[in-house]
Structure 1
Amino acid sequence: MGKLGKHIFMQKYSNINTVLPDTEAATKSNIFNMISKYDSLYLKPDEGTGGRGIYKITKTENGFVLRGGTTSRNYKTFDALYSSLHKFLYKNKYVVQQGIDLLKHDGRSFDIRVMVQKNRNGQLQTTGIIGRLAKPSKIVTNFHSGGTPLKIDTLLKSHLRGADRTNFIKKIKALGREASIVLGESYRRKKAFGVDIAIDSNMKPWILEINTGPDMSIFNSLKDKTMYRKILRYSRF
């Protein structure tokens, strides 16, 4: 399944459907209806990885702004915007997703990757959690697109204190595991899941997507290798 297939599958589960952003096939009518409801949208390749090919649409007083990579273009009407989008939507299968007002650190957006792996008994456990801080000029946080990996504790320090921060991190870890258990119902042979979680400005977590072939190398970028060693150990089960 691509992003849309996974979203539709997970929507059936009441324990996580309230933290799934609105996601649809990127048709003209779906994009129009969603930009009428939300301040911003993301266009993502249905089967893309690494943050490649992602665009952001933002509503403004004068029309719309389309950002991709480090470039942006302004459009006065939706038809003018869609005319530009159609060039790549025609060639590739895309999804359109509700934009989340991401929490920021030093003025830069970040999201969270939670690694969930099966233990020697085949049970899913959270084995790693890391933050990904976007470059100032970029709309994506992905490690391979220039995002900076940081300890989640560092990223949350200016938003939560002491026990509140500790408990919030536990909550995010548990959500990553719960979402992996749900998707694992369809991917029974998979031994690892990489759950991408956004936190909005109201501190609500959102499951952006789940990678069924997660890259472990991002965890090796941290100075403390404890988490990375644990992930490597679990990858052998």
Structure 2
Amino acid sequence: MKLQLGKWKQHLLLSQNPLTAKSIPRTALYSMTDLKDFISRFDYAYVKHDTTGQGRAIYKVYKQEDGRYCYNGYSIQGEPISKCVKVLTDFHQTLHPFERMGRMGNYIIQEGIQSFTPQGLPVSVRVHIQLLKGKWLIGGMNANIGTEGNLENGILNSHRGSAIITVNELLSSHWQMGESERHQLIRRIETLATSAAKVIAKQIPSREYGIDLGLNAELKPIIFEVNNTPGIGGFAKLENKSIWRRIVEIRKLQNEE
């Protein structure tokens, strides 16, 4: 049985490598003190459950000009939530409804990274990286792009209505990049994802990882999250199935080792 790779654990590991340490959001364990600090320093912050996936238990939190605190995202059950409150303790109660019973879930706080297309749509990149015969291979990459419905919280997950496209399509259609420029950026993404996989593998070994990254205003790749049990359903949604087939073929070769 694989060890579960929590978000806080991966932050600690990625902080130890010079390249990955420069390419992760500022992160802290959840506390009211740190949440207030993050909201005061950044346009918004994300509060995430340490171990959930598929967009569950993630909230975008920010302070409005009228002094109210607003948060929107999805509960741990996956239900959409959008609310504004006068005091942050009301948000805390949303996270920890069973606090009096001693059932406290673990959360982290992350700096909100502005990862948007020139058209203003939230975007992330998934790199599926696989270990075969001692070498890390890029099994495939895709881009997860939001719609109008994702604008409020910026949470990208195909389970939450975002669309999957190829990275080449993302960069050529939305950034109008030529082939050479696309190739350079993709190489930077691949290098960062490979470094992240190597760092995580030292403590949480796996034959494959799914690395989710954003692209900030300067098109610098920023690591959002590393998954050591990545699914490949997103790649199956691409019209061109060659990327999905490559990942499956590498998996077959891994099983033969």
Q: Are the aligned partners of 1:116 and 1:180 in contact in 2 as well (CA < 8 Å)?
A: yes
Alignment match, 1:207: 223
Alignment match, 1:130: 142
Alignment match, 1:173: 190
The amino acid across from 2:165 in the alignment is L
Where in structure 2 are there 5+ consecutive unaligned residues? 75-79
The amino acid across from 2:202 in the alignment is E
2: CA distance between counterparts of 1:87 and 1:15?
36
Alignment match, 2:89: 82
1: CA distance between counterparts of 2:66 and 2:21?
34
* 1:19-168 map, 5 Å: 19-63=23-67, 64-69=69-74, 71-76=81-86, 80-89=87-96, 90=99, 91-104=104-117, 106-119=119-132, 121-138=133-150, 139=153, 140-157=155-172, 158-162=174-178, 163-168=180-185
Task: Indicate the SS of the match to 1:132.
Answer: strand
**Alignment pair present for 1:183 and 2:200:** yes
| Aligned-pair CA distance for 1:87 | 3.2
2: CA distance between counterparts of 1:197 and 1:234?
22
**Alignment pair present for 1:231 and 2:240:** no
Task: Indicate the SS of the match to 2:52.
Answer: coil
| Aligned-pair CA distance for 1:60 | 2.6
Identity %: 25
TM-score calculated relative to the size of structure 2: 0.85
| Aligned-pair CA distance for 1:92 | 1.7
The amino acid across from 2:139 in the alignment is T
**Alignment pair present for 1:11 and 2:15:** yes
Alignment match, 2:77: none
TM-score calculated relative to the size of structure 1: 0.91
Alpha-carbon displacement from aligned partner over 1:149-177 (angstroms, at most 9, x marks no partner): 11112222232521112211121122111
The amino acid across from 2:148 in the alignment is P
Task: Indicate the SS of the match to 2:40.
Answer: helix
Q: Are the aligned partners of 1:45 and 1:92 in contact in 2 as well (CA < 8 Å)?
A: yes
The amino acid across from 2:149 in the alignment is S
Where in structure 1 are there 5+ consecutive unaligned residues? none
Task: Indicate the SS of the match to 2:22.
Answer: helix
| Aligned-pair CA distance for 1:105 | 5.9
Alignment match, 1:194: 210
1: CA distance between counterparts of 2:158 and 2:118?
16
Alpha-carbon displacement from aligned partner over 1:156-209 (angstroms, at most 9, x marks no partner): 223252111221112112211111111111122x10100000011221211011
Q: Are the aligned partners of 1:103 and 1:200 in contact in 2 as well (CA < 8 Å)?
A: yes
| Aligned-pair CA distance for 1:106 | 4.2
